[in-house]
Structure formats: C-alpha cells, structure tokens
Structure 1
Amino acid sequence: MSQVTTKTEYRLENLSCANCAMKFENNVKSLPSVTEATVNFGASKLSFTGDATMEELQAAGAFDGIQVVPLSKRDPSPKTPFFQRKENIVTILSLVFVIAGMFFTYRDVPNPAVATGLFAAAILIGGTGMFITGIKNLVRLDFDMKTLMTIAIIGAAIIGEWQEAAVVVFLFAVSEALEAYSMNKARQSIRQLMDIAPASAHVKRNGEIMELKTEDILVGDILLVKPGQKIAMDGVVLSGRSTVNQAAITGESIPVLKQVDDEVFAGTLNEEGALEVTVTKLVGDTTIAKIIHLVEDAQAEKAPSQKFVDRFAKYYTPIIIGIAVLVAIVPPLFGADWHTWVYQGLAVLVVGCPCALVVSTPVAIVTAIGNAARQGVLIKGGVYLEEMGRIHAIAFDKTGTLTKGYPEVTDFIARDEEKRTILQAVAAVESMSQHPLARAIVDYAKGQGIGEAELRNFQSVTGKGAVGEVDGVTVHVGSMKWASELAELPAEMQQRAEELQLAGKSVMAVVMNQMFRALIAVTDPLREESMDVLRQLKDVGIRHTVMLTGDDVRTAEAIAKLAGVTDVRAGLMPEDKLEAMKGLMGQYGRVAMVGDGINDAPALAASSIGIAMGGAGTDAALETADIALMADDLRQLPYTMKLSRKTLQIIKENIMFAVGLKIVALLLIIPGWLTLWIAIFADMGATLLVVLNSLRLMRIHK
C-alpha cells in the first residue's frame, strides 16, 4: 500500500465534468486523514494536505472512473482506440438496443412486450453506472445531473415511456463522451507545455558522460546539447555558439544567438551548433516548470464570472426541482391528466441540469490562459484575464518598456574628412570609462568599423566627462558646460546642441588640444515596435495612454510625442509613480501599468493590472506582476488585450447560451410540447455550444 503524506499533488485522468471535480474534491476532503483538498478542474490536478493512501484516493474518484497518477508521470496512459473504450462500447450497444426496440414498436405488427424488453436492456446497458451514482446521490440529497437523470428515467419507465427513457440514456452517454473530448482539447495547452522539456539529457559529471533523467541532474552539471536537440535544463552557456529557438518559453518566432555566458532555458531548441551548458537550476525550479505551475494555478483561480455562476447554480438546481414538482402535481390537482404532467415534470428535471452553466466560464478561462502561455504571455488568473478585458487606460514606464533601456549614439556631428579620426580618439578615451554613455560611444565606433588607438594619461572628471592623450593630442569628451570652459564653441554648434537637447537627447562635446571638434548626441531610443503597438492598442479600445518616468520633462515629452502617448508624467521617483497611479485610477477607473517588474513594483502593485516586461528567467517579474510578457516584447500587449476582450465576450455568450436554451425549453411546458428528447437535447446542446464556443479562443494569435 503506497502512503502519501503532508502537502501532496497528483494529476487526474478521466476528469471530464465540473460537477465531477467538485464531488471528487468533497470525497477527498471527507477522508479522515485529509485536512484540506483542492481539485483544479482546468489542469486536472489534485492538491491536498494530510495523509492518504493511493487506494483511498482512487476510491474517492471511483464514482466516475477518475484515476489518480503521480505528478512526475510524464507519459500519459496509452491511448485507447475509440471503439475499445468502455463508455463508447456501452453507448453503441445501447444504440443497437434502442434501434431494435423501435423496430418492434413501429413495424406493421408491433410487439410491445419485446419492444419494452429491448428498451429496458438499452437503459440498463447505457445507464447502470449513472443509476448507481444517481441513487447514491439521491440518498445524500445531492442533486447533480446524474441524480436528476436517474429520477427522470425511472419516472419515465414507471409511466410507461420506455422508448423515451432509452433514447435519453443513449443521448446522455453521447453528450458525456463529447464533453470529455472537448475538455481534453481545452486542456491540451497545458499538456503541450508539459511536453516541451525533454525527460533526460546527456551530462558531463566528474569527467564522465552519462545520460540522466532530468530529476537526477544537479546544479553545476554540464549538459551536452547537440544541434537539433532540446535543452533539458536552465543554465549558462559554458562553451559553443549556436542559435536557439525560444518560442516555447517566450513566444519569439526568431531564433536567438547564444554564446559563452548567455542564459538558456529548458525546453528551448538548439538549432545549428553544439553547446555545453552549466546547469543553474534544478528541474522543479526551471522557467518552464514555473510557467506550468503558474498557469495551472491561474486556471484553478476562479474568475468573477465563475464565482457568480457558482453562486447562481447553487440556488438554480433547487429552484428547478421545485418547478418540476409543481409542474408534475399542480395541473392534475385541477383535473389535468396525471400521465401528461408527470412526464412534463420529468422533462423539466432533465432540462434543468446546470452542467452547461457550471462549465460556461472555466472552459473559456482554461482555454484562454493556456493559449496565452503558448504565445509567451503568462496570465496569473482568470480574475486578471477578465480585468484586462475591461481596461481603457494603460500607463507605461519609459526606460526599458517604451524605449530599449540602453543608450545609443544617434548623432555624430563633425567635419566629414575628420569624422573617423575624431571618433577613433573619442572611442579610445571612452573605452576606459564605466559610464553607460561611454559604452554607447565605444559600441558606435565598433559599428562604424573604427580601429583601436593607444591611450595615455586617462582621467575621469566627476560630473564633467573624461580626458586622455591619443597620438599626442589631448582629448576632452564631456558636457557642453565643461566644453565651453575649455574652448570657444561655434554659435551654429551651440544652436545644434540645443536642438538635440530639445529632442530629448544627451549631448556631449569633443575638445581636442583646446579646440572644439565635434558633437555627440546619445539617447535611449524608442523601441521599433512602440509606435505600432500604441496604435494597435487604440484600435482595440484603449482610450488613454500615459508615460510615467523618472527622466526630465524634455526627454519624456520627446519620446512620448514620437511614440504617440497622450499623457506624460516626468521626473517621478518610485513613490511619485505610486501617487500618479492612484491619481490615474481616480481619473479613469481601471488602469493597467506596464513596467520592468522591479523598479516599478509600487506602481505595478497599485494598478488594476500589473504587466511585467521580460518574464523569462526573471523571478521578480514572474512574482510581482499579474501578467508577464515573457519575451520582453511589447507586441504581445495588443494580443493580450484582444484575447482578454474576446474571453469576456465568449463568457457572456456562454452564459446566454446556457440559460437561454433552458428558458426556451422550459417555455415549451406551457403548450405541453416539452419532451424528454427535447430536454436532453437542450442540455446536451447547451453544454456542447458552450465548450465549442470557448475553444474558439485557441485560434487567437499575435
């Protein structure tokens, strides 16, 4: 007997309906050694605190054939062919007996006794499992779909409607099979994520090469990754150079070049070169493991719509049972036919089952969050998915969000014939400086193909710039104010510098042997996609865009004008950003904040929805934000808005389908047209409409 203790998680197989998930959860909770239990319907996962044997857990799910399997089990149970699955065999046999019963009912010389026997056989073959569960539930006054169906079918048999009862059993079996198939489709996003990382890898440990399961790989081991292989663990490139397709983690379609000291993620595909990777995280701590865990938790968390539906369903079923009793009893008390109205009451029981209503929200949430994860967007719960769909204002951090986050040289102004010589001297001086602007100048020189020059007597002057000797020439590179103290600046260059500063750029002057020689303008450039993203956001209904930044007003306004941001708040400290966010929420209601997840933590926490840029490999972003854009790509933002709004729309449609079809069917009571066939079609139709409508969310892409 296998014993499990304390906080434990298992995967569940054959979990096909929301009602079954709730019942299984209650069964586990009722075990004497279990203190708390939660069933995640979307992820098909059980979490519980306490001690329980595997046999006890299997027994708790036996009512619906729910199987409990270890969380570490990577390979699902072998697929059983369609015609070999027990439920499908039972359904087909039931259909055969229904058809045979109809043959003896409608042939030239009917044989009612044989027909009744065949219909009874169809009911027993197709409905025995349902009856056993239904009767057990009835004893406990637990009125789920199987309880209502059991009452209706037994009642139909008592009043002689054997044919109707047999057909309803068959249709119910078909609807259950279709619902199970549809839910499996909705869950395939999670399964695809789980299958991304390989189960084993070749590892070099203590000079020996061995193949190990990922659970046995340790931090510090060296992975050997051949071309075309998936990387099994998070780590850092020790040797080699190759492009790696990171689409599985970040949603990026273009492979990224990886070389020594670059970070790589488990589940990404090494394309053309061989790599040696030093493992930095255990299998349970990898980025893909965290993503799977967060996505499963997100799917388990109930969205506002789902909480409303759950509350509604709690009162809805007793009301339906009450209506069914009244329909069956009241008209006959006033002289109507008992047979007719008892039959109508049974039909009301069937049509009133809340299955479609209960599943209307979770299936949409599960599908949307799983789809988003595959596209490189991590949404931490249904509540955030729904809230995002209601946003009409977004605030952006500037540095690293709307801009690239690092400075680049945009203008180098000098006489054409002297440009390369001056740039070589400037790069030599700046190569010794640690300032970010100096690094931008050195990178610019390399990009222009400028060679290195010998530098002597380098000196950094705090708050002013740097100076050194290159080929016997004293070269000063620094602020305009410092340059004006060293040499006379031409009026046209002074004017040009002011124009560049008004455009939000940092301007430096170059003075060589006490003579002004050049201007260099450096800025943190706008991301190439920022303008397009802001335009797309306006197209999907974002009416207000705001920039919150610590930069000076001129720089902020220049970037905002270029990007198309409608409102600018500049010169803000982190606490000022928090106050600004509170003000924006007072002004616009729901406001999302997009930032880097660290410096913007207070504003991200205060916003209606906090969206972090660059979640891949960044624990802080994954922990602090409600939504993480894994690829550090703003283009994922319009997709997320579109997905959220479509999800809200589909949830509303689902609730309308679920309730609307029931109301139409119930209205058929008035003329006496409601039959058990129509009732089961209304229930089955509503459930299938809801599930198939939700699966449309799988088609939404960037």
Structure 2
Amino acid sequence: MEAPRVRVFRVEGLDCADCALKVEKALSGVPGVVQAQVSFASGKAYLHLEVPGAEKEAERVVSALGYRLKPEGDTTRGVLGPWRWALASGGLLLAAFLASLFLPGLAPWGYGLAALIGVFPLARRAVAAFRQNPFSMQTLVTLATLGALLIGAEAEAAVVVFLFLVGEVLEAYSVAQARRSLYALSELLPRRAYRLKEGGVEEVPLKALRVGDLVRVPPGERVPADGVVVSGQASLEEAAFTGEPLPRPKGMGDRVYGGSLVQEGSLVVKVERLPEEGFLAEMERLAEEALLKKSQAERVVDAFSRRYTPAVLALAGFVALVLPLFQGDFLGHVYKALALLLIACPCALVVSVPAAIAAGVARGARAGVLFKSGAALERLAGVRYVALDKTGTLTLGKPMLVRVVTFGVSAEEALALAKGVAEGSSHPLARAVREASGPKALPSEEHWAVPGLGAFARVAGREVGLVRPEAWDLPPEVEAQVRALAEEGFSLSLLVREGAPLALLAFQDTPRLEAREALAGLRRLGLKPLLLTGDRETSALALGTAIGLFPEEIRAGLSPVDKLRLVEEMEGRGGVAMVGDGVNDAPALARATVGLAVAEGTEAALQSADVGLLSLAALPRAFRLSRLTLGVVRQNVALAVGLKGLFLLTTLVGLTGLWPAVLADNGALVLVTLNSLRLLRARV
C-alpha cells in the first residue's frame, strides 16, 4: 500500500488558535485525509493524503467554514481580515449616528441594519463550524448581537459588531506580521546568480542552478546557494541567521550558506545544495515543525479554556433565567447575560501562549538557535546545569599535528611511514597526519584497524601501526616522553614498526574563538557549566584552563555510558542542558532536559537534540531567549485572564455592558499578540 503523501497548504482567514482548531477538526473528517495538522502560528495546514484528489474535497470543506485553502506559495497580498464587512458596518454605524442627530426616528433602523450587516459573516462561519465547536467566538458574538437587537439595544449591538470586526482586522494584521518575520529568512536569497561557464559568466535565475555549478559572488552580493569555496578570499556577514554581528573570513575549502552577504573580496563557490533545499529552507522547516508541537504551557491553557467557556456560559444562563425570578428586571439581567457571552470567548487566552512561542521560535531562527519544538524553548528556561562535550563543541574538532618526537629514525622517515598508515583510516588524528606538511606518504597496503588499539598497514613489506600509547608496552624512555607530552595537554599517537616504537606524534585541537565568551555568558545567566569528555585529564585540564573553566568543572576519561549517567544525575538535581556534536553524545543529548547540537556535528547528534546551534556563540542567546519568551507567556496569560476577570466582575455588578466587553476581548487579543511580537526585536 502506498504511503500517505504530505501536502502543505496556506489557510487564508486563519486569525486565531480557535479557528485553527476548527479547520483541523474539519479536515480530519475529510475522506482520504489520514491526518491533518493546522498551525495557527504559521498559517499552514499539513495534510497526509492517501487518496488522490482528496485535496479538492478538503478545499470545499474549508471554504464552507469561511476560510480558503491554497497551495503553499500561493499567497494573497493586501489588507487581511474581514475589512470589507468592517467598512460596511462602520459606514452604516456612522450614518445611523448622524440620523440620530437629525432624524431620530430612523436611527434604530440604521443601527439595526449596521448590526445585521456586520454580524452576517460571523453568523455564517458560526453555523458552518457549529458541529466542530458550538462555543466558537463567532457563535458567542452572533448570539450577543441578536439578543441585543431583541431587547432593543440596537446601538450597542452595532457597536459590538463593528468593534469585533475591527479587532479581527487588527489581529489578522499582527498575526501576518509575525508570520512574515518567521519566513523572512528565505528573502535573504538573491534573485539571480552569476554562473561560470566556458568563455565567461552568465546571469541566471536561482531556479536554473544545479548541484555542482560554479558561481561567482562579487562584493555586495549574497551567496545564492549552500556550497564550498573553490577560490577567492572574502569577509562574509551571516548576522541575519547566525546572530553574529562581525563578518567572518572565508577562503578555499570553507563552507558557506546561501543568503550570506559578501562584504569584502570575491568568491567562487561550488553549489552543494539547491537554494530551495538549502540551510535557510531547513531553518524554516524546523521552525514550522516546532510550531506544530505544543509546549506544556499551551496544553495547560488549552485545558483551562475548554472549561472556562462552558463555566461562563452557565453563569450567563443563571443570570438571565434564574436571577430575574428573585430580583426582577428581566431585560436588565438578559443584557448582563449577553455581555457575559462576549466575556466567555477564550480567544485572547488561547492565543497568548502560541503567539509568544511562535515569536520566540522565529527570533531564535534569526539568532542562530533552531528550536525543534515549543516545549524545548520552554524547558530551556528551567535548567541549572550546562554539560558540554569537548571535541567539536568547545574545540574546532580538527586536531593538528604539532610535534614529532623520534626514537632512532629521522622525523621525515617517521612522518612518511605515519602517512602511509593514515591513508587507510578515517580517524581525526589520521586525517591530521595526512594533512601535515612534509614528506609524501610511503606506498602502503593491507590496511586494517584494531578497535581500542589503532590502525595498521604494510609499508615496504613491514607491519607499521599508529596506536594508543596507553595500550602499548613502552620502554622507560618512551614512557617518560609520553608522560611529559600528556602533561602539556597533547593528544598522542605512537608510531610502531613490527612492535618497536619509532616516534610519538603530538596533536592539539584548537579551542573555538567564541568558547571563552560563551562560557562567560552562561555564568552571567547563573548557569553552571561542566565539561564532559572522553579525553585524558591532562588534555581536558589544558583546554579548560585556556577557555575559563575551573578544575572542579571538568570530568575527563568518560565513556558514552559515563556521560549518560552524569547527565541523568544532573537532570534530577534541577535540570541539565547537554551540548554536543558527535555520535557518542547522542544518548546524553536525548536524555538531557534539553539537548543542543552544534550545526557542524554529526547527523546522529542533530537528530537526538532538541535545539540546533549554528555556532557556540549562540548558546547563551538560546537561554536568554527562552527566559524572555517564558516571561512574555506569563505576561500574556496574566493580561488575558486579568482583563476577563475584571470585566466579569464589573459586568455582574452592572458597571460595564456589551461594547466594553467586546472591546476588552478584542483589546486583550491585540495586546497579547503585540506583546508577543516584541520578541522578534528583542536583544538576545
């Protein structure tokens, strides 16, 4: 049986989380749709289709609800929301007000017509979605408006509908701003590329590029696609998606991202990934996936809102039907009940969390932090410890051969033999041997490796190996050299020929330039960093001292199981974030409260992690952004619940009525959205 296809659509008219839930429920019932996911934050629907043509029925169902389902990329420009209905209702409301000044007898008819014109699109959507959600905000506003007309409050009914429509327009605008910020990364790509061909350069659109093409990037232009530099030197500014304000030097062999800006110099880049499949597209995909996964705060708010609306509706029924039996004034109590209907709408509360999470995810994408879920963004704010791997995380992960100590042979002969053995190994130290300057490798054959010991080959007919000194029986003078070099912090490999030591090769991994500042940033946030490494204690202490770690913050000689055990222990003492890049870090990354992987790491580490980091410098920014986002979530919830509670009380005591209630509801909706949008410009 063929696996379900996933199609992505944009949902136009989707202006609140309640609307997204309605559309998702409707799409889930369409024949041929195995699964439907609708994200309010991104404005997209993800349909898992098993029947060809099911999308046509899906479009029809969504259209019946008052929304539009369009293929991804087919967007509509212009004013969003029900602005035409708001304009018509507002015009009639103004005409009715003028009539009240000069022709008072016509004013009620004018107000009534304004209310009916304005409530029509809301009533249509309420009826279409009644099965999915009988307590939708459109249903509540429609009932309140019709009820006000029945008790003779035409003017207030017209004002209520007009304010609600204006609120929907403002909300649609603010939500669209958030979505544009989320997907603004793709706009960094240029519209054209300068492709090299025989005889010169041709200007082509991005869609014409193919993997393997060579493109020239002159100063002032953006790199058109992910690739590797084959010639030239330049300074590249990547601030838009790494958060790093200073340009980085790039030269032959360096990888570059599509969208990077060449400030000085010029490059020739070999295309490795098409523009639509490159790093920026991957960042957008991760952000979209994050918005589909609810945080704990979202789930709590959703659960509360499902109980809040029926509770307030029950209170409205009590006020309208029971209180008049004891206090009289039936119309007055009905008026209060209608105001309570508007207060029962949970929209501001429901939007308060996803709006902040969406803005936090979008801001993270522009600061070099890729959150894979809203839950990861939320959990990061609560950890106390930060465990960091050494090689490839705090260092560049590219050891260099810095010293050769020989025993009875020349340095040139030792290096030539070592290069011959290294030809058959993929170990990082073997790669460093191959890349070392000096004599060429001697011809070698029959390469093999012994796990835990080293790599071997036959060179000039004799067995030669690069082995771990600790695993070899060493003469006293060689053992003394091993201890001396280890105390200096070098990683060591022993060159042996038919069992006899020939040379010690000393390697050093370079600390990342941003490592010291990243650790200082973590300390300023009150976090406790810990280095977890499988390297020797002397090497770990040398690196730790160089980047500002204290000896008690270093754990050396750890196996992957040891790392996992320490992470589990810290997770139980208040939460731990694990930062790594290798296959051996994957178990600890998956077990930590939050796992973070650097972008240059292995695929296993990136898949196990909850957060991707474009550079180590982005690590403190991830924590600051998480704390800022959680603060905005709390502010939004307090604002939404506070305003609802305030107007619930004032309505019950008769101080406020219909139009203040809808103004408070829409006002809270717009305020929590605008408060969330602050995160898009927050300094992290």
Shorter-chain TM-score range: 0.7 to 0.9
Residue in structure 1 matched with residue 611 of structure 2 by the alignment: 627
Residue in structure 2 matched with residue 98 of structure 1 by the alignment: 93
Residue in structure 2 matched with residue 88 of structure 1 by the alignment: 83
Compute the displacement of 1:625 (Å). Answer: 1.6
Asked whether the equivalents of residues 344 and 669 of structure 1 are also in contact (C-alpha less than 8 Å), the reply is yes
Residue in structure 1 matched with residue 11 of structure 2 by the alignment: 12
Q: Which of the residues 529, 532, 538 maps onto 1:554?
A: 538
Residue in structure 2 matched with residue 41 of structure 1 by the alignment: 40
Q: What is the one-letter code of the residue matched to 2:639?
A: F
Q: What is the one-letter code of the residue matched to 1:173?
A: L
Residue in structure 2 matched with residue 692 of structure 1 by the alignment: 674
C-alpha distance in structure 2 between counterparts of 1:207 and 1:619, whole Å: 40
C-alpha distance in structure 2 between counterparts of 1:439 and 1:558, whole Å: 23
Residue in structure 1 matched with residue 529 of structure 2 by the alignment: 545
Q: What is the one-letter code of the residue matched to 1:97?
A: L
Q: How does 1:26-425 map to 2 (within 5 A)?
A: 26-50=25-49, 51-52=52-53, 56-62=57-63, 66-73=67-74, 76-77=75-76, 79-80=77-78, 87-105=82-100, 107=101, 111-138=103-130, 142-198=134-190, 201-203=193-195, 214-215=206-207, 217-407=209-399
Compute the displacement of 1:86 (Å). Answer: 8.1
C-alpha distance in structure 2 between counterparts of 1:547 and 1:456, whole Å: 36
C-alpha distance in structure 1 between counterparts of 2:371 and 2:62, whole Å: 30
**Does the alignment pair 1:657 with 2:642?**
no
**Does the alignment pair 1:641 with 2:626?**
no
C-alpha distance in structure 2 between counterparts of 1:141 and 1:526, whole Å: 57
Identity %: 37
Moved more, 334-343 or 688-697: 688-697
Residue in structure 2 matched with residue 584 of structure 1 by the alignment: 570
Q: Which of the residues 648, 651, 675 maps onto 1:666?
A: 648
Deviations 1:558-608 (A, max 9, x none): 44455235533211122222222223323x142110111433112111211
CA pair 163-139 structure 1, distance change in 2 beyond 3 A = farther
C-alpha distance in structure 2 between counterparts of 1:457 and 1:165, whole Å: 92
Moved more, 425-434 or 262-271: 425-434
Deviations 1:133-165 (A, max 9, x none): 234445776210010000000000000001111
> Residue 600 of structure 1 aligns to a residue in which SS?
helix
Asked whether the equivalents of residues 185 and 241 of structure 2 are also in contact (C-alpha less than 8 Å), the reply is no
Compute the displacement of 1:498 (Å). Answer: 7.9
C-alpha distance in structure 2 between counterparts of 1:281 and 1:386, whole Å: 32
Asked whether the equivalents of residues 81 and 173 of structure 2 are also in contact (C-alpha less than 8 Å), the reply is no
Compute the displacement of 1:288 (Å). Answer: 2.0
> Residue 545 of structure 1 aligns to a residue in which SS?
strand
Asked whether the equivalents of residues 82 and 168 of structure 2 are also in contact (C-alpha less than 8 Å), the reply is no
> Residue 7 of structure 1 aligns to a residue in which SS?
strand
Asked whether the equivalents of residues 227 and 273 of structure 1 are also in contact (C-alpha less than 8 Å), the reply is yes
Asked whether the equivalents of residues 431 and 439 of structure 1 are also in contact (C-alpha less than 8 Å), the reply is no
Q: What residue ranges of structure 2 are gaps of 5+ in the alignment?
A: 405-409, 423-427, 455-467, 495-503
Moved more, 32-41 or 217-226: 217-226
Deviations 1:144-198 (A, max 9, x none): 0010000000000000001111111111011111111111122123221222234
C-alpha distance in structure 2 between counterparts of 1:485 and 1:502, whole Å: 16
Asked whether the equivalents of residues 418 and 441 of structure 2 are also in contact (C-alpha less than 8 Å), the reply is no
Compute the displacement of 1:7 (Å). Answer: 2.4
C-alpha distance in structure 2 between counterparts of 1:694 and 1:360, whole Å: 8
Residue in structure 2 matched with residue 420 of structure 1 by the alignment: none
Asked whether the equivalents of residues 613 and 629 of structure 1 are also in contact (C-alpha less than 8 Å), the reply is yes
How many pairs does the alignment contain? 635
Compute the displacement of 1:439 (Å). Answer: 9.5
C-alpha distance in structure 1 between counterparts of 2:568 and 2:594, whole Å: 13
Asked whether the equivalents of residues 504 and 557 of structure 1 are also in contact (C-alpha less than 8 Å), the reply is yes
Compute the displacement of 1:549 (Å). Answer: 0.8
Asked whether the equivalents of residues 232 and 266 of structure 2 are also in contact (C-alpha less than 8 Å), the reply is yes
Q: What is the one-letter code of the residue matched to 2:621?
A: Y
Asked whether the equivalents of residues 66 and 125 of structure 2 are also in contact (C-alpha less than 8 Å), the reply is no
C-alpha distance in structure 2 between counterparts of 1:289 and 1:640, whole Å: 20
Compute the displacement of 1:306 (Å). Answer: 0.8
> Residue 5 of structure 2 aligns to a residue in which SS?
coil
Asked whether the equivalents of residues 581 and 606 of structure 1 are also in contact (C-alpha less than 8 Å), the reply is yes
> Residue 228 of structure 1 aligns to a residue in which SS?
coil
C-alpha distance in structure 1 between counterparts of 2:133 and 2:476, whole Å: 90
CA pair 322-189 structure 1, distance change in 2 beyond 3 A = same
> Residue 583 of structure 2 aligns to a residue in which SS?
coil
Deviations 1:636-684 (A, max 9, x none): 1111101101111211221121112111111113422230022112211
Deviations 1:413-458 (A, max 9, x none): xxxxxxxxxxxx97997688558889989999x9xxxxx8x99999
C-alpha distance in structure 1 between counterparts of 2:228 and 2:606, whole Å: 20
Deviations 1:281-324 (A, max 9, x none): 34553222222111111111111111111222222222221111
Q: What is the one-letter code of the residue matched to 1:70?
A: P
Q: What is the one-letter code of the residue matched to 1:233?
A: A
Compute the displacement of 1:380 (Å). Answer: 0.5
Q: What is the one-letter code of the residue matched to 1:583?
A: E
Residue in structure 1 matched with residue 599 of structure 2 by the alignment: 614
Q: What is the one-letter code of the residue matched to 1:548?
A: L
C-alpha distance in structure 1 between counterparts of 2:279 and 2:133, whole Å: 46
C-alpha distance in structure 1 between counterparts of 2:336 and 2:440, whole Å: 97
Asked whether the equivalents of residues 218 and 279 of structure 1 are also in contact (C-alpha less than 8 Å), the reply is yes
Q: CA RMSD in A?
A: 4.0
Q: Which of the residues 665, 673, 682 maps onto 2:664?
A: 682
C-alpha distance in structure 1 between counterparts of 2:232 and 2:674, whole Å: 47
Q: What is the one-letter code of the residue matched to 1:623?
A: Q
TM-score scaled by structure 2? 0.82
Q: Which of the residues 560, 567, 571 maps onto 1:574?
A: 560
Moved more, 224-233 or 395-404: 224-233
Asked whether the equivalents of residues 245 and 269 of structure 1 are also in contact (C-alpha less than 8 Å), the reply is yes
C-alpha distance in structure 1 between counterparts of 2:412 and 2:655, whole Å: 88
C-alpha distance in structure 1 between counterparts of 2:675 and 2:118, whole Å: 28
Moved more, 11-20 or 209-218: 209-218
Q: What is the one-letter code of the residue matched to 1:662?
A: K
TM-score scaled by structure 1? 0.80
C-alpha distance in structure 2 between counterparts of 1:242 and 1:505, whole Å: 33
Q: What residue ranges of structure 1 are gaps of 5+ in the alignment?
A: 413-424, 447-451, 465-477, 510-518
C-alpha distance in structure 2 between counterparts of 1:387 and 1:427, whole Å: 54
